[in-house]
């Protein structure tokens, strides 16, 4: 199973939630604090597995205003 993070505009939240339910997909809505904690965990896992270069992770974080 893979995890995909989707940033959904608030106005479209109900649409996406119904779409996920329709296709029996597991979903979880994160608050900003949870989002940052989870992102840090995934970054650590990615660095350990060496599947994603560190530079790409830092570039993504800078683009999305996450302090690194």
Q: Where are the domains of the chain?
A: 29-68
| pLDDT beyond 70 at 67 | no
What pTM value is reported for the model? 0.44
Structural tokens at position 4: 């995909």
**CA–CA distance, 56 with 17 (Å, rounded to integer):** 29
**CA–CA distance, 36 with 39 (Å, rounded to integer):** 5
Which secondary structure element, helix H or strand E, spans residue 62, and what is its range? Answer: helix 54-63
- Interval 23-44: pLDDT, tens: 998 887 777 677 677 777 777 7
Quote the pLDDT of residue 18: 92
Give the residue, 5 or 67, on which the prediction is more confident. Answer: 5
């Amino acid at each position: 199973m893979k995890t995909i993070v989707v940033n959904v505009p608030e106005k479209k939240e109900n649409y996406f939630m119904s779409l996920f339910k329709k296709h029996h997909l597991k979903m979880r809505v994160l608050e900003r604090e949870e989002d940052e904690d989870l992102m840090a965990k995934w970054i650590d896992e990615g660095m350990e597995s060496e599947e994603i270069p560190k530079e790409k992770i830092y570039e993504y974080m800078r683009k999305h205003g996450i302090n690194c």
